[in-house]
Structure 1
Amino acid sequence: MTDATVERARLAYVPAQPTAAEQHAGIIPMPLRTVHFVMPAGVDDPAAPSGGNAYDRRLCLDLPGFGWQVTRHIAAAGGWPRPDRAARETLARTLRELPDDATVLLDGLVACGVPEIVTPQAERLRLAVLVHLPLGDETGLDPRAAADLDSRERAVLRAVPAVVATSDWAVRRLVSHHGLAPDRVHVAPPGADIAPLAPGTDGVSRLLCVAAVTPRKGQHRLVEALAAVRDLPWTCECVGGLVHDPAYVAQLRELIARHGLTDRLRLTGPRSGAGLDAAYAAADLMVLTSYAETYGMAVTEALARGIPVLATDVGGVPEAVGRAPDGGVPGILVPPEDPGALAAELRGWFGEPDVRRRLKAAARARRAALDGWAATARSLAAVLGRLPETPGRAA
């Protein structure tokens, strides 16, 4: 979800009011319960947008419609999931100061790296952890660092009564990898706001990638694939933050220049509002070359505009692509380690009009069937409502 989508939703949001029938019957809605939502620093930073940040912000808007008032707590900046001492102390103090038996939703980026801070609080707080990406699945980690983060995350997720993941694939991954009880891991997939159909350009040649420029998003594989089809009349715009991994960004720019693609493949940085809407409106095909995705919100953002998708077959991406009501598939999935397959599918996209027509028809049909964010908030609200009393309170 884009920052523009979040802002539009914020401006349009109206708190739920009793219906005429409820007023006539004298029924007054129950007061909102409170959930304390602990999110990472930078969740509101427009220079570093991410699907996880947008998801968190959208929940804050939509949960009140399902009975939960959100109190936001922003964790101190400190390199989560490996915070410095000051950030650790701030998080510990935030949790200590919450009242006994309070309902608390923690973003996994903040919670899962510090079990020594989080797990003791499970004795007195009703904790749920929202996992956007398992910590050890981040691309490029040193194996020992990944194993340490993996162990820390396992300790946290085993200690809390509820874990929320963003796809069925992610639920299965967390249950099997961390040995969690299946009834404690719940799914709340991201929603999508239907947007105007993208007119595109000539219907084929404008490619768009919306993703932070990081090793996990694999833009270097996109560059290699595009270099292999340089004879085709494509242009490509990569929209996404450039501050997460400056070294990778520099390597990517050098790779683009080495292949002589500077005039055709642009890293435009993050966009929001009208600028991002314009990028989508001009796109004929969405491309995503990630190594790991628990869902793939950029996929459904494209489909919400009727744009077909070419993506790597990883994690929850097949769920995001989904199927149209008639069974049509609005995208093409390729193996994650095969730039050649990506290049071959690009040749097919350019060379086979019937393929393009089929994909575009399926994308438009899938667009009409996408779940909205109300479904996400409803699922999350149900999880919060079922959190058990803490051991101290139950006694």
Structure 2
Amino acid sequence: MQRSSLLRVKDSFSFADKVSIYCLHFFTHILTLLKPTGTAHRRPSRHGRHVNILPTLSSPQISSKGRMEWEVCPDSVLVIRKLHYDTVGPFVELAEWLLKEKNMFVFVEEKTLTDDDISSSEHSEKFEEIKSELKVFQGMTGFEKISEKIDFVVCLGGDGTLLYASSLFPSCIPPVMSFNLGSLGFLTPFDFTEFKEHIEDVIHGNMKVLLRSRLHAELITPGSDTPDVSNTALNEIVVDRGSHHYLSNLELYVNDNLVTQVQADGIIIATPTGSTAYSLSAGAGMVHPAVPAILITPICPHSLSFRPIVVPSTSVIKIKVVPEARKHAVVSFDGRLGPELQKSQDLIIKASEHSLPTVSRMDHDWFNTLQDLLAWNTRVKQKALTNNNKPPTKL
């Protein structure tokens, strides 16, 4: 009779030796089966043309943090600036350094060059010296032709600048480094005064990356083979009543199960990143960006019991306008006004396959940001008891 292929023990061994060897092999085999191999969550994800993001967390449930690994040294960068006078100086200084000292290809939007703030600033003369060396594109049509040439993105502005950068890449997006030249700066952790050191670290792959989940939405007419509209959002997708004064009257489905009927100003479908934006203002809780989840938050519901909920990131959400609704609804993506949602259409929302890799500071985490920018749980500390204010002793 042929012996098991898992283990063959020599016949010269004693019976006790054979039992010991078989037991040792059995328990070793069981431990091997129970031990996670890590191949699923340690596999690098591709972002951009030359960079892989290697997950750094050991948990198979969370793979939202990683480190950059360049296949070849990056040589092209997209610079997006907020069209404001305060960003002109940093933009010119950054572009000149990238072009002349780092010998990189610098891509910018056409509207950046024609901005009146540049021509009227003290940096206009220096800008004219480098203007001809910049790679210019115009609108989404022009961007589609050069998007695959971008190695990483630098944003000069506030949170809205990062949201705009995300909207340019509906699918795969290269790493994004954001310098805070805006108002709040919740998503823009870097100080521009040290931009050379920070970008050098990006070029050499010495920076950590946080993979922020995004939402993908499709507006579908039942029976149609292709969606009427598709779009991506980093913060949230909002369905509301628009400019008319009637309540939104919507049906909310999760994984094809009718959850509830929404009678409110609207509803917010948010990512964990967006949980500190519009969703927070509407009364929902804050969720760490590494948590795989989707938030569902009603906007001014005409109900005392309609509270925000959180569902798994694998959920498929469907929103419909009920037949008896008095008006259609309006959809927006990260604050950008989108299409109308008609009674004959379905809005399907799910987590995007392409997350946004944001370069993170080593010395700053999410909790620091909550406390520094939103003053989370900030209050005067309670004083300790002293001999003068001790409570009276019980009789």
Pick the TM interval, shorter chain: 0.3 to 0.5
TM-score normalised by L of structure 1? 0.34
Instruction: Point out the structure with max Rg over C-alpha.
Output: 2
Bigger fraction of residues in helix: 1
Bigger fraction of residues in strand: 2
TM-score normalised by L of structure 2? 0.34
